[in-house]
Homo-oligomer: A and B are copies of this chain.
């Protein structure tokens, strides 16, 4: 009998649980989370649900995932003013609309937008950088 989702969806509950483990230090920065297969066993949900939960954490910048390797907790505090590059392959932040974006979105210059930046590396070299813009939350 699949899928009653009264109240809170399971993927969100799982995301909360994992977030807690990271913030509490049970999963220290840099350490890998259990594999998806392990998490499905632990929480007794399907893999898709686990992936949904992890996806939420990734969007929050809490974790990063690498194909064939795993998902690990990010060191997210003390982010800037350091001399060496961590590896944020994707990053979300709020920016002000430049002239071009303002015109496209039909907002004023300087209006808040959400920028999602992702970096594609080939080997160590950066191949492409993609910045995707959406309207900020303060818009209907």
> Which A residues from 92 to 140 make CB contacts under 8 A with B?
100-101, 104-106, 117, 119, 126-134
Least CB separation from A59: chain B residue: B41
**How many copies of this chain does one complex carry?**
2
Q: Is the interface of A mostly helix, strand, loop or mixed?
A: strand
Least CB separation from A121: chain B residue: B104
CB < 8 Å: which of B105, B119, B126, B130 contacts A130? B130
| Contact present for B129 and A132 (CB under 8 Å) | yes
CB < 8 Å: which of B127, B129, B134 contacts A128? B134
| Contact present for A129 and B119 (CB under 8 Å) | no
Query: Which of A55, A106, A130, A134 counts the most chain B CB atoms within 10 A?
Result: A134
| Contact present for B128 and A130 (CB under 8 Å) | no
CB < 8 Å: which of B104, B130, B133 contacts A132? B130
CB < 8 Å: which of B42, B119, B131 contacts A131? B131
For A133, the chain B residues whose CB sits under 8 A away are: 128-131
Other A-B contacts than A128-B132, A129-B133, A130-B130, 10 sampled, CB-CB below 8 A, are A37-B55, A100-B117, A101-B129, A104-B126, A104-B129, A105-B126, A127-B134, A128-B133, A131-B132, A131-B133
